[in-house]
Structure 1
Amino acid sequence: MELKDGMSTTSALSQKPVNFADKTFQIEIKQKCEYKVTQIKKIRHFGYILKQEFIPYFEKLHGEYVETIDKGFND
């Protein structure tokens, strides 16, 4: 859910799958997210926010993931 609300670039890059090259992952995430720069107390913060057109897909996948996890704990 963090990606939908906004995620720092450091946090996003730490979630990179092992089989993805760094550059490939950065290109993929930039295609699906907006790059935002905010400034709080003269300190810049860089992050990604999921684009509106990808939110329904994200919610569907997230829901399926939660159901799978819940099912695993209840077995």
Structure 2
Amino acid sequence: MDKLQAIKFTLGLAEREASKFYEVGNKAAGTRTRKHLTEIKRLCSEVRKDIQELKARRARGEGSPEDTDAPAFPGSGYSGSAER
């Protein structure tokens, strides 16, 4: 699964658990919310690392803007190869 899709999916889980915590007072849901947020943080760090690695490869001439490892951003219309 694409890392950005995993972030979106995990955010949905976190929202559902946060709702249970804040609206119902379910303490265990608060713990699960924090767990999901930690996973989102980890995934975001991985995406940031991937971006930096791709930028470095491109700077060395080993990659191109149309690189296939560039993640797509569903729903935004951006596929990783925007013309400027």
- TM-score, normalised to structure 2, is 0.33
Larger Rg: 2
Higher strand share: 1
Higher helix share: 2
